[in-house]
Amino acid sequence: MWHQLTEPARDSDVEAVVSLAREAEPRCGATVVVAIDGPSGSGKTTLAKGVADALEGLGTVEVVHMDLIFPGWDGLAEAPGLLTTQVLEPIAQGHPAAYRTWSWVRDEWHGTRTVAASRFLVVEGCGSSVGPAGAYAAVRVFVEAGRALRMRRGIARDGEGYRPNWERWAEQEARLYAADGTRERADLVIDTSSL
């Protein structure tokens, strides 16, 4: 997540997302949810960091990383529902939220994280605007880059030993996004191929 970032997001991309968030009507109680979605290695986390930092000047900001919600390497399809029931629905009803976190080392649920009331909630990661979660997103961003480039970025970040998992995950992404029409429903599509 944040500790893995090596470069900042492109200023124009951050400004485009923040501009939409500033004008958006909340769809999750009083909270403006900014969902930064797209396939692995596209640059979602980098963009989310820039957006979260920029939004702090406009009000309180919370961040949810989908990497903590996925129940393992085969859990992508389940994650939007978990995000919805554990985080978005409680916030929409004016309640505090808490979600179970997945330990990738232990390969099991391990701990919880709370999400405080805030003006903005940045949700970053694959599936953050898919299915029921999308109904709560005031701003839907889809970040993309070519598959070969994303694979190189992912392997550089996670190591060659993760290639089989990365390929398995990429197949799940393709199925999920095709069935949901995620890119087509986005308010903003950002291509990071040139970064």
The model's pLDDT over 148-174, given as tens digits with 9 standing for 90+, comes to 889 888 888 888 888 888 889 999 999
Band (pLDDT 50/70/90 cuts) for residue 6 is low
pLDDT of residue 91: 97
pLDDT at 115: 97
pLDDT tens-place string over residues 89-119: 999 999 989 999 999 999 999 999 999 989 9
Flag whether pLDDT at 78 surpasses 70. yes
Q: Closest Cα to residue 180, out of 137, 133, 136?
A: 133
- CATH class in words for 10-191: alpha beta
Q: Quick check: helix, strand or coil at residue 116?
A: coil
120 touches 21 (CB < 8 A):
yes
Per cent of the chain over pLDDT 70 is 97
Q: How far is CA 67 from CA 57, 63, 126, in A?
A: 26, 12, 8
CA angle 2, 11, 88 (to 5 degrees): 50
pLDDT in tens, 113-155: 999 989 999 999 999 999 999 999 999 999 999 998 898 888 8
Provide the pLDDT for residue 49: 96
pTM of the model: 0.94
53: left (phi over 0), alpha (psi -120 to 50) or beta: alpha
Q: Alpha-carbon distance 145 to 191, whole Å?
A: 5
